[in-house]
Structure 1
Amino acid sequence: MLDEAENQLDNRGPWMNPEAPVTENSENFGTERDVANCPFFLKTGACRFGDRCSRKHVYPTASPTLMIRGMFRTFGMEESRRDDYDIDACLEHSEEELQESFLEFYHDVLPEFKSVGKVLQFKVSCNYETHLRGNVYIQFDTEEQCKEAFIKFNGRWYAGRQLHCEICPVTRWKNAICGE
């Protein structure tokens, strides 16, 4: 595998991690021991390695959970996005300002999602890691409601940005934690 990666670098082609070997052991599915499927993606619907990940990202065709990448933004998140190496970029903003910003966002968007169907979970990632920053997760009562929400919200505009929705594999929120 290393030789394959070095050949890609030597030929000045785009570098990609080699495909992981496929295993038949289902007891390790979605864990760190699962060498084929990405546990980060299965837990959060996002992977810090993105397209360069050596493991498979299994995008479900149906799920009750919709994810909208980067929908929630605060000034502190925007500042840290401009300079991902400056961890102090958001220190000028208090927790109260973040809470106020979130409540304004919550009261603005949740009624829109409820217009589609029953919302069981509404989660917003305030993580500063780029793959999770501002992601919004909406778990509906049924997969059909999630599909309807996908159709309704994908491509719409909110706060000057176009929404990009994804059907998300996350249904167990206790495990939806990134180690970063």
Structure 2
Amino acid sequence: MKTQWNIFIAFFRTGMLGFGGGPASIPLFQKEVVGNFKWMTEEEFGEVLAIGNTLPGPIATKMAGYIGYRVSGIWGMINAVLANILPTIILMTVLLTFLSNLRDFDWVQGMTAAVVPIVGMMMGVLTKQFIDKSVKGLGVRFSLVLGVIVLIAMYIASIHPGIIIGVLLGYSLFKKDKKNNKNEGKRS
């Protein structure tokens, strides 16, 4: 029961504080899942994020569902998804009622404008963490070359990011499998 409560708290907090959509919630997911509850390592979280980005639909609910399932099965998945969307349902119902009457006030416009740099900073920190992991795992040169290739593929060749992530994931799994087979050959 404590596990279900922890799942609820973790994903309720991300749903409550994740203003700006699913991508803005990713650093909050990381803090809860990797930092606070230690349900995953940084690498596992990165893999879940990569796979979640290739699938259609909102990233926040996909990640909540998968992580909840991984931690506590089907009930963990249901709990995590409900906890993640519950704040939005409540806030949308309550705030939209009042916001329509208050939207012309300067302080309301100032609050919504202030959120943009905060979300930008959170995304920047997450990007830096992923770059640091890439450099640590692949080296500076390979990370730069891979980054340039991905940018060219996405913006010049107009290849969907999901295809690029799928190819890179497939390559890394193939490489890992090949390495494991090589190590097994040495043992026998």
- Under a length normalisation based on structure 2, what TM-score does the superposition of the two structures give? 0.22
User: Normalized per residue, which structure has more strand?
Assistant: 1
RCO comparison, higher one (Cα < 8 Å, 6+)? 1
Q: Give the structure with higher Rg (CA).
A: 2
User: Normalized per residue, which structure has more helix?
Assistant: 2
- Under a length normalisation based on structure 1, what TM-score does the superposition of the two structures give? 0.23
